[in-house]
Structure 1
Amino acid sequence: MSLLTTVMNHTLDEGYAQAAARRHSEGRSGLPRTLRAKLWLATGLVLAGLVVTLGAAQAREAAPTVARERQELLERVESGTEAMDALQQEVDALRTEVAARQRDLLSDSGGDPGELTALLAGADAVQGPGLELVINDAKGVAEGGGDAREGSGFDTGRVRDRDLQRVVNGLWTSGAEAIAVNGQRLTALSAIRAAGDAILVDNRPLVPPYTVQAIGDPQDLRTRFDSTVDGQYLNVLRDNYGIRAATSDQQEIRIPAATSLTVRTARPADTGEGNTQ
């Protein structure tokens, strides 16, 4: 009877009671750990579902905007391409018109395109206003007192072939129509080289001072040449290394024809109506 009375009065084992009291004192829920884990898992799945749903909804809303922007860009590219093609056609038409007017002017003035080509190619002597540059070695070099600078090549006070090359190229770039160095006419086949301390133009030796004559509007040539890299290069030679250079405008310059002008490959282009090249 005492055992039955104990069971009736103490239905819960003392170990379970102690564990429940311990969880309560630690502030933990009375729910079992497995149930709490399932609840957290379910909550996480619900949140993940919400994120995926919201992302899909935003993507569906943004898709039409992206497609519209892409279409607008494509239309702008196509429009720009069409405008560029139209401008290129206009440029080609203007070039054709300019060439035709040039031929008409030559014909009205009794000129011949062949004569103009000969003038520009160097086969005929030319004359007209222009610019004259006189370039000389540094003073000590010219008087036989040795180089004004130590070393060789660019580091000397002597005018080198590459110096004349840059001056000539600068004048061509500035719009010169004909150029001669010490009376030697330069053409598309001309070469300025060095042989020791001597400078050769078309294999003909030159002696300083070097007189470079260029036909063209004097003031225009001077302004353009001074603004080129080659014109600045000449100023560096003059200011830093003592090489002497003087420029003067000339009302009338006469440049002789090239002494040798041999064309082995080029031939006149076919300008017939049937030519499509």
Structure 2
Amino acid sequence: MIKLKLPELTPDEPAPPRDPAASMSLINDVIRHPLDPSYEAEAAKRRASGAQSRPMNRSPLLILTMILIGFGLATSAMALRVPLGVAEKQHDELVTRINAGQKLIDQRSGTVKTLNADIARLQESALQRGNRTGTTDDLREAEAIAGAVAVKGSGFVLTVSDAKNAGTDAQGDPRTSGSDTGRVTSSDLQIVVNGLWQAGAEAISINGQRITSLTAVRFAGQAILVNFRPLVPPYAISVIGPGSIKADFEKNAGGNYLSTLSKGVGITSKFETDKSITIPAAPSVSLNHARALKENQ
């Protein structure tokens, strides 16, 4: 075995300083000699022979191809982009068609109401001729409960509206998918209406739309629909019921929920009591079940 003897340092002799760049020798070598030795040798050979580096050959066909590709990309981008003027025109046409359709629906709904009123009048006349006064009273009560006829009585109007600082989008519209803070939702109205029924309400409408057992209060996009009619805030909830309904509502789950909305997100609510309330009939009431009435012998 061969033993190497290392030089010994005397205590008074300091250790040699270490080169700080020793660990970066590879990086320094790459920086100082960026070219591969073979490439560098070839370049030196070309310089020695006096050869000039030639630029890349740009043929007319290549230039024409690049121009055609750029033109095609620009044309595709313009075709995919809908001009603002065209979008606004399509929006206006759609709004016009919706308004025309809504007007037609209103006209036909009025015709249906008129025919229903004629039917009710003829029914009542037939029952009176048949000496069926009790049946007439029962029919009127059933129609009022089902929402088939307008009703009038004492009650109040509860107005619920979005918070003053309700979120809006970039155009200031509070009814878009990008802004929902502080807005009344369909779920809010459902809970409030259920609380009013629980408190003893006999008839309810929201912005003139009668609420029955078949009515759906729901979202469609960002609009609240009642009887398939879009509603806009504020939401005036008209209620007919006993004198204690307001106090009972404020104590139950619906009233507590509305109070939480007012305190939490700033949704506003206001009661207008001691009023004679008129609630219209539902737009359409369909007959689903019927049974024959047997006369007493």
In structure 1, the partner of 2:198 is 173
- CA-CA distance at 1:216 after TM superposition: 1.1
Distance in 1 separating the partners of 2:246 and 2:291 = 34
**TM-score under structure 2 normalisation?**
0.49
Name the CA shift for 1:196/1:127 in 2 (closer, same or farther; >3 Å): same
**TM-score under structure 1 normalisation?**
0.53
Alignment-mate amino acid for residue 260 of structure 1: S
Question: Which protein has the bigger helix share?
Answer: 1
Distance in 2 separating the partners of 1:227 and 1:268 = 40
In structure 1, the partner of 2:256 is 232
In structure 2, the partner of 1:209 is 234
In structure 1, the partner of 2:285 is 261
2:184 paired with 1:159? yes
Count of residues paired in the alignment: 161
Report if aligned partners of 1:140, 1:146 keep a CA contact under 8 Å in 2: no
Instruction: Pick from 174, 199, 221 the counterpart of residue 196 of structure 1.
Output: 221
Please list the CA deviations of residues 157-215 of structure 1 after superposition, one character each: whole Å capped at 9, or x if unmatched: 10000000011111111111100000001111110010122100011100000000110
Distance in 2 separating the partners of 1:111 and 1:199 = 37
Q: CA RMSD in A?
A: 2.8
- CA-CA distance at 1:152 after TM superposition: 7.2
Distance in 1 separating the partners of 2:210 and 2:292 = 25
2:119 paired with 1:130? no
Q: Highest Rg: 1 or 2? A: 1
Instruction: Pick from 252, 276, 280 the counterpart of residue 252 of structure 1.
Output: 276
Structure 2: gaps (5+ residues): 1-131
Distance in 1 separating the partners of 2:246 and 2:152 = 18
In structure 2, the partner of 1:112 is 137
Distance in 2 separating the partners of 1:142 and 1:215 = 33
Name the CA shift for 1:137/1:127 in 2 (closer, same or farther; >3 Å): same
3-state SS of paired residue (1:130): strand
In structure 2, the partner of 1:81 is none
Report if aligned partners of 2:215, 2:226 keep a CA contact under 8 Å in 1: yes
Report if aligned partners of 2:147, 2:212 keep a CA contact under 8 Å in 1: yes
Please list the CA deviations of residues 87-131 of structure 1 after superposition, one character each: whole Å capped at 9, or x if unmatched: xxxxxxxxxxxxxxxxxxx968x9610111101111111001112
Alignment-mate amino acid for residue 278 of structure 2: R
- CA-CA distance at 1:140 after TM superposition: 1.4
